[in-house]
């Protein structure tokens, strides 16, 4: 779980740096979900 937390922290500052934080936030959240379940990676991710 510590890994997923670190990813979220890195995304927060990134959003502030980019002007389109809203669009980036949605896309980043999707990526985090994939990382959240490393045991069962979706076929699309591979």
Q: What is the pTM of this model?
A: 0.13
For 1-45, what is each residue's pLDDT tens digit? 555 555 555 555 555 555 555 555 565 555 555 555 556 666 665
pLDDT reported for residue 22: 56
* DSSP character at residue 43: G
Tokens of residue 15, six digits: 């959003």
CB 36 within 8 A of CB 4: yes
């Amino acid at each position: 779980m510590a890994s997923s937390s670190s990813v979220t922290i890195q995304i927060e500052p990134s959003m502030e740096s980019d002007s389109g934080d809203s669009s980036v936030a949605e896309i980043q959240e999707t990526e985090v979900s994939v990382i959240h379940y490393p045991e069962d990676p979706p076929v699309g991710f591979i």
